Amino acid sequence: MFKGVLFFEKLGETVMNMKPRLIIAILALLLLAPVVANPNGPPWQNGSDLVIDTGCTCHGDGAPSTEVVVSISGVPRSYSIGESYEFTISLQHASNEDGGFLLWDYNSGTLQPGEGSQTVPEESGALSQSEPGNNWVVTWIAPDSDIGSVSFQLVGNAVNGNGQFDGGDLWNILSFSISAPDSTYTDDSESLQLRTISVGDYDSLFVAEEDPAAIEAARQEEIADDFFTNGNLFYWTTLSIIIIGAVVQGEFYERRFGGGPPHLDMSLAVPQGVRRGILSIVTILMFAWSLDSSQAWGIILLTGMLMLWAIFGVYRTVVQARAPKQYTDLV
């Protein structure tokens, strides 16, 4: 007991005599040790959970994302006893090109690593990447007896390459199985290479982030177009109102101070009224067409003004025909 006390006293004195820089260096090495022990490949466990089951929760805000497509090709519908199969594991994302994976068959068969992959140290029956990459080719040897359907779990993580565990890293989980021997259709070698199982949204692969400068330029162009369109609308509408007001004012001054409209003989008024009436009908139909077909505001305004002008012509013909004759002394 006394030897233990003396040991801790000696240890305390040694620590107290160390320089602060040396203590900091030792603490840094202790913190770095877990990282150095596992420089490549994801951890097998995250707390009490298996990463193969829960996913890469340290990345992508802790939730799976359909923006990354995790796929595996070369998977048969049913396995043959003791047969070897080559699987190709791929990650697809709109911007993240590389990443990592975990693959496990729950020790039903034998998984063998290929280039860029390795056996998981904590679970020799599982595989992971040995360094960030993509399109890993691994080998799976089917069980040496019929054990029924074989289940697989594949976790893929497409990283943004900044070396941080952040929302820019996106991952997804693919669960699939291979049926027992002779229980379903057997693929030939060509169809086996093409057969691919995947999870994720392929449409998201074609959606890339837009350049902020391009977004701002589009916004400014939209503002300019809106300003031009509204400016034209206000200008021509105001001009039309001024023209209508001028005509109404002219009629008022003619009746109030000019003695009324001049007389138009019926021999002239009838044919003129017919012509102007036909023109009015045509312009009314044009205006109705522009409204019914939802034409641009400029066309609606133009046909509306033509219609009003034609109707005003009919009105002037009627007013002049009804005006009293005025005899002018020519002497």
3-state secondary structure of 297: helix
The matching CATH number, chosen from 3.40.50.1580, 1.10.260.30, 2.60.40.1730, 2.60.40.680, for 45-206 is: 2.60.40.680
Using the Cα atoms of residue 8, residue 9, residue 11 and residue 12 in order, give the sign of their dihedral. Answer: positive
So what's the pLDDT on residue 58?
Answer: 77
Strand ranges, E, within the chain:
45-46, 49-50, 69-73, 84-92, 98-104, 110-112, 117-120, 123-129, 136-141, 150-159, 170-178, 196-199
Rounded to two decimals, the pTM is 0.51
DSSP, res 210 = P
In terms of DSSP bridges, do strands 150-159 and 98-104 run parallel, antiparallel, or are they unpaired? antiparallel
Q: 212-257 vs 297-322: helix axis angle to the nearest 10?
A: 0
Domain boundaries, the chain: 45-206, 210-258, 261-326
Distance from CA of residue 131 to its chain's centroid? Answer: 30
Task: Check if the beta carbon of residue 118 is closer than 8 Å to that of residue 192.
Answer: no
The predicted-structure confidence for 161-218, as pLDDT tens digits, reads as follows 887 777 788 889 999 999 999 998 888 888 888 899 999 887 766 655 566 777 888 8
Residues contacting residue 182 through CB under 8 Å, at least 6 positions apart: 78
pLDDT digits (tens, 9 = 90+) for 58-81: 776 678 888 889 999 999 999 999
Closest by CA to 141, choosing from 72, 70, 87, 196, is 87
